[in-house]
Amino acid sequence: MSARDFTYEDVGATREPGFCPPGFHRMQVRTRLGEGEALFRRAAEAVLTWELHRALGVGVETDADRAAPGVDVTLTLAGMVKAPCRVVWTVEEYRRAGWAYGTLSGHPESGEESFVVDRTGDGTVWLTVSAFSRAAKWYTRAGGPATRALQQAYARRCGVILRRLSGGDEQ
């Protein structure tokens, strides 16, 4: 594990639904993927193995085949913006699977983001992307609300791509 420090204090807090530290912006986007256990398993595997991020066109640099606490990963956005992070928690349960990363020094934002697939009692499968963040670089500060709009669009795109990867229905 890298010795680099997280750029925020509430490490692991995305486990708590709705939590947002003072001074951060909260985001949550929930997308219906479809129905059934097989779809849930395919979606969970795509999230846990970085397949979702790669299908989004995000560069993924890591030594790990799947997300696990303590794994460092650098995401490359738009082919040029490097975003170093570390996996802070994972979950692999019968009806819930996913992970969250925390930002490390050099990331354009400061905060945490989670990607969780869950299957409700009626069999419906959902992807929820949750985050709390604030600008950490001059260009994300300069972007202001536009930066947050891009984060929302990215989260919505995650749902669209994961629906396709897992063979889900159109919504």
Residues counted in the chain: 171
- As assigned by CATH, the class of the 23-166 domain is alpha beta
**CA trace torsion 35, 41, 47, 51 (10° rounding):** -110
Query: Hey, which residues does 127 pair with through a beta bridge?
Result: 31, 117
Alpha carbon distance 36, 122 (integer Å):
9
Q: Are 66 and 50 in contact (CB under 8 A)?
A: yes
What pLDDT score was predicted for residue 1? 37
pLDDT per residue of the chain (171 residues) written in tens, 0 to 9: 344 589 999 999 999 988 999 999 999 999 999 999 999 999 999 999 999 999 999 999 999 999 999 999 999 987 788 999 999 999 999 999 999 999 999 899 999 999 999 999 999 999 999 999 998 888 888 888 888 888 899 999 999 999 999 987 654
Q: Which residue has the tokens 């063979």?
A: 167
Q: pTM for the whole thing?
A: 0.92
What pLDDT score was predicted for residue 2? 42
What pLDDT score was predicted for residue 143? 83
All structural domains of the chain with their residue ranges? 23-166
Q: How many CB atoms lie within 10 A of CB 40?
A: 25
